[in-house]
Amino acid sequence: MPISSDMIIDSITNATPPLSTTRIPRVPEMVKEIHDCQKYYVPKVVSIGPYHFGTPKLEYFEKLKPIYTMKLVAGNREILRRLYEKLGEPGMVRDLRSFYEENSTTTFNDEVFTKMMLLDSCFILYYNQCIHDGKPEDCPELKGHQVVFVHQDLFMLKNQIPFKVLNLVISLMGDGRFDKINSFIYGNILAPR
């Protein structure tokens, strides 16, 4: 059966863009092929989110994350429990997983994924509190060169968590960290707002 010109016109006018819900994508393969491009998407010291989780060279900071989390919540296990339970709600986990490319989080069960989101968000907030609030003595485990690399890693492509996680942790902590984290982020963006 021949295709009419009306059918062709209809197929063009009724076309819809491909659906992609990924908001924290992986680096496209064609970009990875560019010489010396890894410095823009492979973290040097700290993994944030699922894409580089478990990388052996980043193990030191994985061990620091629970320590910084406990410092952030001032040792309060009840706050920690509330954060974990809120981040671990089934709808929340489903939503947070949707920020990443399809099948990139399937190797993590909900508990491991939730723990990752909790530790990563608390690490970011505590790092910000120590370094950018002028209290580096609260992070004696960090050496000067590591601070530089952590700073770079936090703004690296595909080494991120949804901002929604930071907002949730900040709101459940009940203090004025919103302004501090916004200042930290906007202070590191080179493009105009």
Q: What is the mean pLDDT of residues 17-26?
A: 65
CA 75 → CA 13, 63, 100, 136, 181, distances in Å?
59, 17, 31, 19, 21
CA distance 40 to 22: 19
187 — pLDDT class (breaks 50, 70, 90)? low
Does 185 score more than 80 pLDDT?
Answer: no
| DSSP-assigned letter for residue 145 | H
pLDDT tens digits, one per residue of 58-106: 999 999 999 999 999 999 999 999 999 999 999 999 999 999 998 899 9
Q: Does a structural domain hold residue 102?
A: yes
Contact 172, 79 (CB under 8 A): yes
Question: Which range of residues forms the domain containing residue 85?
Answer: 25-49+60-186
pLDDT tens digits for 152-179? Answer: 899 888 899 999 999 999 888 776 666 6
CB 74 within 8 A of CB 58: no
> Which of 21-30, 104-113, 117-126 has the least mean pLDDT?
21-30
Question: Is residue 158 assigned to a domain?
Answer: yes
* Coil, strand or helix at 24: strand
| 17 inside domain | no
Contact 151, 159 (CB under 8 A): no
Q: Is residue 38 part of a domain?
A: yes
Total domain count, the chain: 1
Residue 72 CB: number of other CB atoms within 10 A?
Answer: 25
Q: In this structure, is residue 18 part of a structural domain?
A: no
Q: 16 in a domain, yes or no? A: no
Dump pLDDT digits (tens) for 124-157. Answer: 999 988 877 777 788 888 888 888 899 889 988 8
pLDDT of residue 19: 56
- Within a domain: residue 112? yes
